[in-house]
Structure 1
């Protein structure tokens, strides 16, 4: 009730504000001035856009909170019983490009230990297969070895559990069978705890892996072993042999993952388009077949066919699990989500996910606040599901195999047959694919638990790259949303008003909120009458409820001020992403994909992204002084608060030293001109035919570069 009241209150305050402004300005005759009229209209439109996005946040959380409250975990016995009778093949794909092997290793382990039968884990390495740099080659080799190392480590407990499962079939005494299963659980528990003790814990991500994956799984298995022993001594309870068998099968599942590495760039018969979407598409296109792939660079006609081609067998699957290389899953992620996708009524669910949360224990203020915004989005995404407006969040998901076939398209590019399931027209291919999925009559669902986690940028430069990519593409997809609405209307299954508004806000809010903030900060000094107490009150329900959500998520209520400052820091970043979308729409040329760096060193942010928030902070301070001199105290308070938030964010989140160095280095890069090479004497020679020149002298490197 409170959540819905906040949304209604926000709308009511907006109506009150708009009414009072129009009446006040009409009575004063100020609207006769054309420039003043334009400024006023821009200001009111901006307030409306900001209010709309605030209301969409409040509406989404109003849908999310009941989902959290009503959610009940499925009984583990029911899940184990289902999979014992319904073997399910799950393929886990982890795309990776230029990642830290230590980080990839944690993600791989978190998937390999999933409690799901028939799990196959494939690391999709997208690095150039033959790097020249020795350090890069050594890092790539270490990454390649991860799959084999995991398979070797899992083998002893897997073989023990499988052998015990065979013995269990022949056992006649239930007590002996239960004792044997408890013993296997003990062995698996000891193995997990030894691994936990041996793992490094120098970072909060490594500590999370040890605590939430290894030790949590070990504690769960230990509790099952203890329960088995206690059950044998309970005279009122007869231990079910089928359940004992399922408990042993669980250990087999945990330690039976098949692991492999696939590198599409090793093969000239596959697309080498440099995107995560195409990395996934290349492998998905091979599912369920035996393929003869041509090895890249194998052009020597004297080589045998075995040296020029490689036979690749890719088994079929029922579900595809995707996970970013810097993300991590809790052990029951696949088990619970796949089980829900088998439930009655879920036959048309194409994607089920748990939008990722941020790792706890962030090592910087910026990472902590960036993580807070991620966790707030977890709530928003649950609200989107409540109104059938779910978007795929690409960091992790379970995808139904049959739904992918509806998305399949095949084209010929540069003589290569290219199969696409994820189109990748924009750099936010997961959001784009959501519209494709819905347009084919499938649905997407967010499971209301936190079962997946991912890294947050630790410094401002890294955050700039990530958020600029997130801001680029939403406007382009709005047109496809409009087409979806018309399609559903024509088919007799119209999109609800709430779904339409929530989807539109998800796609376009970064653009219009950024523009709205800029207008507010540049137009309101023109007339103090535009800034009133009612204007400030419009934002009150939004900030109060967000502060409440932050407290619910384990943060401080006061972090809402830090998030406001962080958003002001990102105004230029979001504007750059928006301009990228507009540029792509006008030119038809797709924006380059900018990978978020995962390095411990400082990533430069660029002078523009440092100077813009500085200009906002200083400009707001000047406006505040001017407003105070004119007695406009509400405008003074708003300007002073904005100035303190953005300048404080620069000091606390970026750091004075990094801000100065990034601005200075950005300036040098802008004015720097490479010295021209000395001009060589030119001898006049007889002109040669073009073909003769090519055959005799080839092309100069400079000509190729041009």
Structure 2
């Protein structure tokens, strides 16, 4: 298998420890709540209404944080047995399935404002996927314009499809020739022909990998894990066929050899196209990725006559398909992604699986400390998603997925927008349209599944400002989707197919945890005064199973256990970001105005984070120091230790992950932006006088003088 595709197999002891950790976490929370309530009920503090409210707020915050920690531990309880039980499907079984099931696959890669270098790697990774009939369409969504830089970028992006088609021509011809010859030759000769074809294509893939630039870790990953892994796989088949020699045909039959030849044509047989919806006035131009996908999906199965902006008619023929692969332009698929996921959909028990995916992992070899730790949180979420599937609580992670066409037909609705009919398969009411679509999927009686391997990878922001853009978008929308989950749960219960308790809890936490964890941490760190009555050793111990098990997960995923401290510091840095996203969700709920999608910058330059987002962690650190000093004066040593630890983590994260110089620069630029008042240049008297009075009246109207 491709290095990194398979998870380390959890041990029986690790699985048992995961269950014990969940029980301990819940038991300690119950002990803490009981202890606090009994202690306070014996004192006179309950007479103080403000103290009572503060205590209640503190206990609610502890409960919310414990709930989210418990959901992480519960997800692990489901994930580890899945990973331990997983066995890779045999290649012979996958080949046989494709030989008997002529599945038609449409792969869509939406791109808006993306660096052509990223688009090229993503498009190559999906073009080399193995499927019987694969059409790959780059949905280029940059608007037509006269800006030379934009026109150049779009032209370079369009040319990628031509480059891939040209590069695939020779190896594809070699593979097709092998299939033709293998049908007519005796078994030993057919094996030799197919082995030569595999060796030839493997050399081609290796030459492509060698020629690739390796300017950064993403480019290196593409060369080694996409092109290089494909070359290794094909080369191993060539060697195996060569070693087989003149074995008995019952062991390696002509039918099996021909099947191997067809596998080679499936890998190299993709049709590559480019489609730009904004060239056609009759199509929807809504500025969202969901709309970009919806427009093309609405064309599937028909021949359409569309006029472009110049009035030229184009015939757009989009064949029917059985499955749709979606992939973000900053992501990559490992070579076996489509083969293994499509094969899984063919298995008994998967008839109602509408979406199957491998939630993306972070590229290895990151450039900066913050990129490494942000990648660690991404990989931890990959593990969580495996646990969600164990409890049938999977969410669609939009970076990649394989979707049944029959599911999309169920989801399709027709709306009238500005007098034009618009077909929607994926609703885009929020900026997390993939999460929103997950509720629609289960509402129609379909399931979502995370395949228990790491077969897809995506970019991680390299600096704090870029990470802010990404995480603010992630934090916005979950609260808006929660009512839809509750409505779906009620409908399923009324229909006699209720959601399981664990599924409901996990889904609720997935949608709302950013909001209440942020609120809970702010309460614990800054709002409610920490004192001996509320902070005890039991309170600290509640979080211990969570942090211990997460540290173990980091080690299993290829990080260090002590990185748990960096992850905690990073989460503290992102408190204000998550708060802004939560407020955005609440504002959208009241106003109905959808927040604009903010694309994560990928230009390679540092993105300023904004003064407020730099100032917020400093405020948290200062508040923690004040609480620590006051707690020492009151003799509350546990509270002082917790507050001091938080301050150290925040300051350490600021220095290590943001940088002192970058922090000062962002604060200074924020100050300048606040005090700077732009002055609009006024036209000179000469310019005004050069326009006749009658022209000003006709063009601008009569301007009445302002009097007293």
Summarize the alignment of residues 268-667 of structure 1 with structure 2, pairs less than 5 Å apart: 268-296=281-309, 298=310, 307-525=311-529, 527-667=531-671
Q: Does 1:152 align with 2:154?
A: no
Q: Is the 8 A contact 1:115 1:250 kept in 2?
A: yes
Superposition deviation, residue 475 in structure 1:
0.4
1:257 and 2:270 aligned: yes
Could you tell me how far 1:667 is from its partner in structure 2? 2.1
Tell me, in whole angstroms, the C-alpha distance in 2 between the residues paired with 1:403 and 1:618.
52
Say if 1:364 and 1:348 are closer, same or farther in 2 by CA, change over 3 A: same
2:149 aligned partner: 135
Q: CA deviation at 1:231?
A: 1.5
How big is the shift at 1:132?
2.3
SS of residue in 1 equivalent to 2:398 = coil
Q: Do the aligned partners of 2:304 and 2:317 also contact (CA within 8 Å) in 1?
A: yes
Summarize the alignment of residues 686-697 of structure 1 with structure 2, pairs less than 5 Å apart.
696-697=698-699
Mean Cα displacement is larger for which, 349-358 or 411-420? 411-420
Offset at residue 524 of structure 1 (A): 4.3
- The more displaced of 378-387 and 159-168 is 159-168
SS of structure 2 residue aligned to 1:293 = strand
| 2:57 maps to which of 30, 34, 42 | 42
Q: Is the 8 A contact 1:524 1:530 kept in 2?
A: no
Query: d(CA) in 2 for partners of 1:227 and 1:308?
Result: 54
Q: Of the candidates 80, 89, 93, which is equivalent to residue 74 of structure 1?
A: 89
Separation in structure 1 between the aligned mates of residue 614 and residue 534 of structure 2, nearest angstrom: 29
CA–CA separation in structure 2 for the residues paired with 1:85 and 1:510: 46
Q: Given the superposition, is the C-alpha separation of residues 574 and 21 from structure 1 closer, same or farther in structure 2, using an over 3 Å criterion? A: same
Structure 1 residues 69 and 294, CA gap change in structure 2 (3 angstroms): same
Give the corresponding residue for 2:76.
61
Determine if the alignment matches structure 1 residue 112 to structure 2 residue 114: no
Deviation by residue 1:479-523 (Cα, 9 ceiling, x = unmatched): 011101100110001111100000000000000000000000124
Query: For the residues of structure 1 that align with 2:313 and 2:505, how far apart are their CA atoms?
Result: 51
**Deviation digits for residues 185-244 of structure 1 (CA, Å, limit 9, x no counterpart):** 110011011111100111111111111111111111111111112212446963211110
Match of 1:52 in 2: 67
Contact 2:531 2:636 in 1 (8 A): no
- Whether 1:205 and 2:218 are equivalent positions in the alignment is yes
Residues 39 and 227 (structure 1), Cα distance of their counterparts in 2 relative to 1, 3 Å cut: same
CA distance in structure 2 between the aligned counterparts of 1:182 and 1:686, rounded to whole angstroms: 84
Q: Would you say the 8 A contact 2:370–2:657 is kept in 1? A: yes
Q: Pick which of 253-262 and 229-238 moved more.
A: 229-238
Structure 1, residues 21-79: CA drift from partner, whole Å, max 9, x if none? Answer: 11222222112111111110000000000000000000001100000000011111011
Q: Distance in 1 between matches of 2:355 and 2:235?
A: 33
Aligned position for 2:136: 121
Superposition deviation, residue 90 in structure 1: 0.6
Q: Distance in 1 between matches of 2:106 and 2:174?
A: 24
Structure 1 counterpart SS, 2:209 = helix
Tell me if structure 2 keeps the 8 A contact 1:531–1:635: yes
Structure 2 Cα separation of the partners of residues 103 and 456 of structure 1: 13
Matched, 1:26 2:41: yes
CA contact (8 A) 1:510 1:574 kept: yes
Aligned-partner Cα distance in 2 for 1:671–1:410: 49
**How far, CA to CA, are the matches of 2:106 and 2:251 in structure 1?**
37
Tell me the secondary structure at the aligned position of residue 525 of structure 1: coil
1:218 is aligned, of 227, 231, 248, to 231
Show structure 2 runs of 5+ residues with no match: 1-15, 703-708
What residue number does 2:3 align with? none
Instruction: Name the CA distance, whole Å, in 1 between partners of 2:165 and 2:68.
Output: 48
State the TM-score, normalizing by the size of structure 1.
Answer: 0.95
Displacement, 1:135? Answer: 2.2
Of 324-333 and 661-670, the range deviating more from structure 2: 661-670
Distance 1:506 1:348 in 2: 23
Shift of 1:458: 0.5
Q: What is the Cα deviation at residue 670 of structure 1? A: 2.3
Is the CA contact (8 Å cut-off) linking 2:306 and 2:314 kept in structure 1?
Answer: yes
Distance 1:266 1:78 in 2: 44
Q: How many Å separate the matches in 2 of 1:357 and 1:443? A: 22
Shift of 1:294: 2.6
- Alpha-carbon distance between aligned partners in 1 of 2:603 and 2:188, rounded to the nearest angstrom: 54
Aligned-residue offset at 1:677: 3.2
CA distance 1:113–1:699, change in 2 (3 Å): farther
Q: Answer whether contact 2:112 2:142 (CA < 8 A) is retained.
A: yes
Q: Which moved more, 1:143-152 or 1:220-229?
A: 220-229
1:294-334 deviation line (CA, Å, top 9, x unaligned): 313x4xxxxxxxx4432211111110000000000011100
Distance 1:236 1:280 in 2: 48
- 1:100 matches 2:115: yes
Q: Which residue of 2 aligns with 1:187?
A: 200
* Equivalent-residue separation in structure 2 for 1:120 and 1:291 (angstroms): 17
With structure 2 as the length reference, what TM-score do the two structures score? Answer: 0.94
> 1:301 corresponds to which residue?
none
Query: Deviation at 1:14?
Result: 0.4
Separation in structure 1 between the aligned mates of residue 411 and residue 290 of structure 2, nearest angstrom:
13
- Please identify runs of 4+ aligned residues in structure 1 that moved more than 4 A: 233-237, 679-683, 685-688
1:610·1:662 contact (CA, 8 Å) conserved in 2? yes
CA distance in 2, matches of 1:455, 1:499: 29
Secondary structure at the aligned position of 1:14 is classed as helix
**What SS does the corresponding residue of 1:410 show, helix, strand or coil?**
strand
| Structure 1 position 416, deviation (Å) | 2.3
Q: Distance in 2 between matches of 1:252 and 1:408?
A: 33
- Does the residue aligned with 1:528 lie in a helix, a strand or coil? coil
Deviations 1:608-635 (A, max 9, x none): 1100001101211121112112211101
- 1:680 is displaced (CA, Å) by 6.3
CA positional deviation for 1:574:
0.3
Q: SS state of the match for residue 529, structure 2?
A: helix
Pick one of 177, 180, 202 that aligns with 2:190. Answer: 177
Please list every run of 5 or more consecutive structure 1 residues that lacks an aligned counterpart in the other structure: 299-306, 701-706
Query: What is the alpha-carbon distance in structure 2 between the residues aligned to residue 523 and residue 135 of structure 1?
Result: 49
